[in-house]
Amino acid sequence: MTSAPSPAADIARAPAWVRVCALSDLEVERGRAALLGDTQVALFLLADGSVRAVSNFDPYGRAHVLSRGIVGTKSLGNTPTPSGNTRPGYSESDGTHAEIPTIASPLHKQAWDLRTGRVVETQGKDARDIPVWPVAVRDGDVFIRWEGDGS
């Protein structure tokens, strides 16, 4: 006979907001790395004041270097999305192009959307997206919504 998981077990597996650093530890458009469990996370404070968290692991260069990457923007309006996803930032109704925040690897210059983790520039390689995590800033502290297993 199989028993149902206890409510305490469900709570233990539930994602939680984990304090990562003070907002003042971040510099605009400069990455910082943080270690959550066994997972390296790259944090970015953008010029608009938002904070983004993505994997620090570059799946092309196979190294934990994205926190040292180049922050920029990319217009995706007329650019095919290499990962096969829908084209974020493009409005079919008015044909406008939105600029999205990106991080480019310091190794081979592939670039990812900092909001979604979708690869937007593969440099001729296959599409490899990266994980992202929700971020909140409260009372001058940066929190990441985290599941203890690194997902």
Q: How many CB atoms lie within 10 A of CB 32?
A: 19
- pLDDT tens per residue across span 58-89: 999 999 999 999 999 998 665 444 454 444 54
**Alpha-carbon gap, residue 87 to 80, rounded angstroms:** 7
pTM, rounded to two decimals: 0.77
Q: What is the pLDDT of residue 15?
A: 79
CATH class of 16-146: mainly beta
Rounded mean pLDDT, 113-125 = 96
Q: How many CB atoms lie within 10 A of CB 39?
A: 19
**Alpha-carbon gap, residue 39 to 19, rounded angstroms:** 15
Every domain of the chain and the residues it spans: 16-146
